[in-house]
Amino acid sequence: MQYVVAQYRFLPYHGIKAYNFRMSEIKTNRRNFLRQLITLLVLPWSFSIRTAGAAVEELLGRVKRPRSYWKPLISQAAYDVLFKEETERAYSSPLYNEYREGHFVCAACYLPLFDSDKKYESGTGWPSFWQVLPAAVETKTDHSLFLQERTEYHCARCGGHHGHVFDDGPNPTGLRYCNNGVVLRFVPKAEALPELRG
């Protein structure tokens, strides 16, 4: 400041310029300080959001594995359904009559797909559910049957085919997720869910 005053005294015009410069410098520094402070406060938060986002992506994101990766991990029957979109014989799955409390996970990647309290007796011969866990499956239109358009659904994580969803299910959704039992693994409530694989 003494320097500025001295300049102002002896070189009025340049002194004022210098003083103004100093003030703007102080303001700039204060802005920088605030910016740095905000960055310091926000950075860990944004990092944790990114980390959480990555975790969710990892949990629900598609696992890019070739079919050959899954083949040794699952039965041939499960492979045929998951990756060749075949359908198991009606009433052939022990899970059709499974009504214990628990979770149904994808037989390939172990992503939880259904909760037991959403399972119901559809009379179709395939395990049926009226609701799928949020974001657990993706759908596509299936034209494989002559003159019939169906909605196919597959595991959102590994992409394996699980079944078809119809709109003749019970309340409250009115949906029927008709799932091949061979591509599900039942985990009773008392047991921990298996770690995701793939």
133 binds Zn ion (CB under 5 A): no
At its nearest, how many Å lie between Zn ion and the CB of residue 155? 3
CB-based burial label for 161 (10 Å; 0-12, 13-18, 19+): buried
Terminal-to-terminal C-alpha distance of the chain: 66
78 binds Zn ion (CB under 5 A): no
* 178 catalytic per annotation: yes
- In the block, which residue shows the tokens 């605030």? 34
User: Among 74, 158, 183, 184, which residue sits at the site for Zn ion (rule: CB under 5 A)?
Assistant: 158
103 binds Zn ion (CB under 5 A): no
107 binds Zn ion (CB under 5 A): no
155 binds Zn ion (CB under 5 A): yes
The DSSP secondary-structure symbol of 172 reads: T
106, 109, 158, 178: the catalytic one is 178
At its nearest, how many Å lie between Zn ion and the CB of residue 106? 3
63 binds Zn ion (CB under 5 A): no
132 binds Zn ion (CB under 5 A): no
Q: What is the number of alpha carbons within 13 Å of residue 183 lying toward its C-beta?
A: 32
Secondary structure (3-state) at 135: coil
Angle at 183 between CA 56 and CA 54, to 5 degrees: 10
184 binds Zn ion (CB under 5 A): no
User: Which residues, 6+ apart, have CB-to-CB distance to 117 below 8 Å?
Assistant: 101
Number of residues that bind Zn ion (CB under 5 A): 8
Query: Which residues are near Zn ion by CB under 5 A?
Result: 106, 108-109, 111, 155, 157-158, 160
Kindly list the catalytic residues: 178
